[in-house]
Amino acid sequence: MAAFLLVNPRAGDARPAPEELAEAAVARGIDVHVLRESEDPAELARGASADAIGIAGGDGSLAPVAAVARDRDLPFVCVPYGTRNHFARDLGLDRDDPVGALAAFRGRERRIDVARAGDRMFLNNVSLGLYAQLVHRREEHRRRRDALARVRALAILLRERKQFALTVDGRAIETPVALVANNAYLLELLSIGERERLDEGLLHLYALTGLVRSEWRERSGERFTIGGDGPVLAAAVDGEPAELETPIEFRIEPRTLRVLVPPGR
């Protein structure tokens, strides 16, 4: 099987070094390309002559390449190489062993759900409200090389305690945080836990109505339409800052992504 792996050297606190990971992949017969700053990983994936396509990166790096694999009906490989690696965790991978994840290219296939916000595909979730603003502000601070960006952004947002006016399928709600998830999450205080399944075939919408876990409201379905009080909403798509035009049409695409996992996982 011809295997192609993209490596994002700027993904979080990537370890081992990109060159070491690339060498380990080449030793396994995998064609590797380490991304340069100006390169588009989706474009490279579209042009790759391969039977399976993967990327070593964080959560924000995965969906564009996975979308190409889905469109080409090729298996997708996730190599955890970011800071949190939520998708890799939910897929059952060892998040601390990117080299071990390379075995997926010779592993078994499973089919999982993907979701869309408009035309944009996501694997984990889309956040709106305070968390989305945190991600946008963190990115602004990061551009100024502020090492305490995330902590400072969170402190600002917690002081604001802002409520956001949204509509869900035409019904008005006010919430500091809303989350549209590809399959169900276990929720914790102002954060998300694991997903037990990636093939449930349902979106889950969570809206925080207070600052304790018991005050998350949840609903599920195959489609949601979310509107705001302006033409765009600040969002975090798989943890990456984005602006989405309203109303946002969310939908699930059950078991349309072929994913390879290492033997025994």
Question: Is 7 within 8 Å of 22 (Cβ atoms)?
Answer: yes
In this predicted structure, the answer to whether residue 148 has a pLDDT above a threshold of 50 is no
Predicted pLDDT at 82: 92
Which pTM does this prediction carry? Answer: 0.88
Kindly indicate the confidence band of residue 263, based on its pLDDT and cuts at 50, 70 and 90.
very high
| Cα dist from 255 to 101, 199, 260, whole Å | 21, 6, 13
- CA-derived radius of gyration, the chain: 18
Give the pLDDT score at 133.
79
Residue 87 pLDDT: 97
Answer yes or no: is pLDDT of 150 > 60.
no
